[in-house]
Amino acid sequence: MQGRRIRRLAFGVGLAALIAFAWCIATYHQLPAFGAMVVAIPLLSVAAGRRWLTGPILVVLFGVTFWAAFGTTTGYFWLNRARLEALVAAIQAVPTITSLELGHDAPLPNGMGRVGRYDSSRFINGQLVTQYREQVAPTALQPVLREIDVLRELGISSAQYEALRASLEALRLAGFDRRQDGGIALNEPMPGGTPWVASFLYRPAARPPLGDNVQTLRILAPHWSYVWQG
């Protein structure tokens, strides 16, 4: 009797964890999905009664699903296609921004003599920009302009810009570039010094991209390709 109650409880909690896992997959939340998987596997194994057999089967099923969702380009694209298309629409709504690199905040380098943050590799239309007034250097060898001033010149509101950045960050993208043919390349983060760029490329004409620098091309769906360029 006690064993039956334990199995029922394990089944109920395990089923809840399974549902949470499916929800995290659908909404592309990697760490919560992993946590739900870790909870669901042992509980469902207990509920099934044959842990020596059920456990390995569940590990394989959950593991393959997790890897397909978060470890493959195809999984990423299909789980996030609606979000990617919404991002493309948001980019098209700000035509004066032709390229954007998110960059990142980092501690000030050693030897600066003070404590604070600075912008690293943040670009708008190829221009290095910063949020921090003390980092502005318009006459430097590589000019650095204040981000808000560049946005004002482009006619972009802070709300539009921050929403665009938030969408890119949520999708784990490094930025975007507009192409001369009207396409929009959504760029993945790449290690520093990497001589190529991997992108999800949206093209209104639904044709494969052309160019001598295209190393790898994979069609994902009408209008969408995954491209390595460099």
What is the total residue count of the chain?
230
Q: In angstroms, rounded to a whole number, what is the distance separating the alpha carbons of residues 132 and 14?
A: 49
pLDDT at 82 over 90: yes
* pTM of the complete model: 0.82
Most confident range (mean pLDDT) of 101-110, 118-127, 150-159 is 150-159
**DSSP states along 157-180:** -HHHHHHHHHHHHHTT--EEEE-T
Q: In angstroms, rounded to a whole number, what is the distance separating the alpha carbons of residues 3 and 16?
A: 20
Q: What are 229's strand-pairing partners?
A: 197, 214
**Are the CB atoms for 187 and 177 separated by under 8 Å?**
yes
211 vs 51, more confident: 51
Burial class (CB in 10 A: 0-12, 13-18, 19+), 222: exposed
